[in-house]
Amino acid sequence: TTVQKQHPEVGQRLATIKHVILILSGKGGVGKSSVTAQLAMSLVQENYRVGVLDIDLCGPSIPKMLGLEEKKIHQASAGWVPVYADEKKRLACMSIGFLLPNKDSSVVWRGPKKNAMIKQFLTDVYWGELDYLLIDTPPGTSDEHLSVMEYLQEWNPDGAVLVTTPQLVALTDVRKEYTFCKRVMLPVLGVIENMSGFVCPTCSNCTNLFSTGGGEAMAKEFGLDFLGNVPIDPNLVLLFDQAKEPGSSSGSSGVGGNGSNGDGSA
């Protein structure tokens, strides 16, 4: 006997997607979105077709990181057409950022409205064939997480990647993510430690600004796979924070500049 699914329309959309992975972090500013963007780009380099769904409704940063800030999605008969970050259409992206009138607009919604938006993201986007759908979530465990799992759970998403930084506070918070995953029966695929150490651009020595190995220790404690660490890299900030539209020259030679998204609340 087959159990009646509650959200068959979600299953229909997921039918052309091989793997669904959520990216979680205990708190903001640890680099969850930049890790999502890097994962997406690495997979594209390996010739996979990738979709990034940004469900951080109050602080969408994926459009900016992929240099797609001015883009808009459009409606086709098959659904909402995502924005593509490359000419070969291997990296598709969907975010509330594409639906807002301008980049300074923000969303102040209660749970039910967020829930409806997330449902629409999961049912109306025309992804086509994808190898991976990476879902970038807001920090912590909020309405968005509960909503996305409400719709995905019965379709068995592959699991979650937990992003943390080496500091103890971040690690404490990531434990909560782990507890959340257990509660909603979402497998944890592993832990990535971001901003672990600073590689000096002139001497290449690695300085551990915070502390080190926390992510790995935490992974061990919970019996999770440690997937690796990403050092602090000033070039990464330049790349992401000043990302340009694909095709346009990346004329960002200077340092600093304004227009930083600097907030930590992304």
* Chain positions contacting ligand ADP, by CB under 6 A: 25, 28-34, 61, 139, 194-195, 230, 232-233, 236-237, 240-241, 266
Smallest gap from residue 168 Cβ to ligand ADP (A): 17
Smallest gap from residue 261 Cβ to ligand ADP (A): 6
Smallest gap from residue 3 Cβ to ligand ADP (A): 36
C-beta of 10 vs 55, nearer to ligand ADP: 55
Dihedral sign computed on CA atoms, order 178, 240, 255, 70 = negative
Which of 125, 186, 176 lies closest to 150 in space, CA to CA?
186
Question: Which amino acid, residue 93?
Answer: C
Smallest gap from residue 169 Cβ to ligand ADP (A): 13
- Across 91-238, the runs of DSSP E, i.e. the strands, are 91-95, 130-136, 159-164, 188-199, 206-207, 226-232
Structure tokens at 116: 């409806």
- Across the chain, the runs of DSSP E, i.e. the strands, are 17-25, 50-54, 74-76, 79-81, 83-84, 91-95, 130-136, 159-164, 188-199, 206-207, 226-232
Are the beta carbons of 94 and 68 closer than 8 angstroms?
Answer: no
C-beta of 34 vs 115, nearer to ligand ADP: 34
Using DSSP, state whether 102 is helix, strand or coil. coil
Are the beta carbons of 137 and 1 closer than 8 angstroms?
Answer: no
Angle between helices 168-183 and 214-222 (to 10 degrees): 30
Smallest gap from residue 259 Cβ to ligand ADP (A): 12
Smallest gap from residue 251 Cβ to ligand ADP (A): 19
C-beta of 7 vs 32, nearer to ligand ADP: 32
Residue of this chain nearest to ligand ADP (CB atom): 31
C-beta of 29 vs 79, nearer to ligand ADP: 29
C-beta of 10 vs 135, nearer to ligand ADP: 135
Structure tokens at 25: 């972090």
C-beta of 201 vs 223, nearer to ligand ADP: 201
Smallest gap from residue 186 Cβ to ligand ADP (A): 19
Taking the CA atoms of the chain, what radius of gyration do you get in angstroms? 18
Neighbouring C-beta atoms of residue 26, cutoff 10 Å: 24
C-beta of 14 vs 148, nearer to ligand ADP: 148
